[in-house]
Amino acid sequence: MKKKYNLTDLDCANCAAKMEDAIKKIDGVNNATVSFMAQKLTIDADDSRFDSIMKEVVNVCRKVEPDCVIEM
């Protein structure tokens, strides 16, 4: 399943790259892109575990950028 989410308060391109790398390492994620310029997250992950994967994505993003919010 592929979905796009808006991001709020993503402050730098370096943080976006770190978030993208960390998200790609989560089990069940096929691909992910974090665009600093567009303030968007695009994720392609396993359909059957999508909700649990997104919980991990939120946790990973908070570790990199505590103020960043994924608008779901």
Model pLDDT for residues 23-33, shown as the tens digit of each residue? 999 999 999 99
**What's the confidence (pLDDT) of residue 50?**
97
d(C-alpha 40, C-alpha 7), whole Å: 5
Report phi then psi at 41, rounded to 5.
-115, 125
- CA torsion 12→50→30→16, rounded to 10°? 0
Q: What is the pTM for the complete model shown?
A: 0.95
Query: What are 21-59's pLDDT values in tens digits?
Result: 999 999 999 999 999 999 999 999 999 999 999 999 999
**What's the confidence (pLDDT) of residue 46?**
97
**What's the confidence (pLDDT) of residue 43?**
98
Nearest to 18 by CA among 37, 6, 30, 36: 36
Asked if 50 and 1 count as a contact pair (C-beta separation under 8 A), the reply is: yes
Asked if 7 and 67 count as a contact pair (C-beta separation under 8 A), the reply is: no
What kind of architecture, by CATH, is found in domain 2-66? 2-Layer Sandwich (3.30)
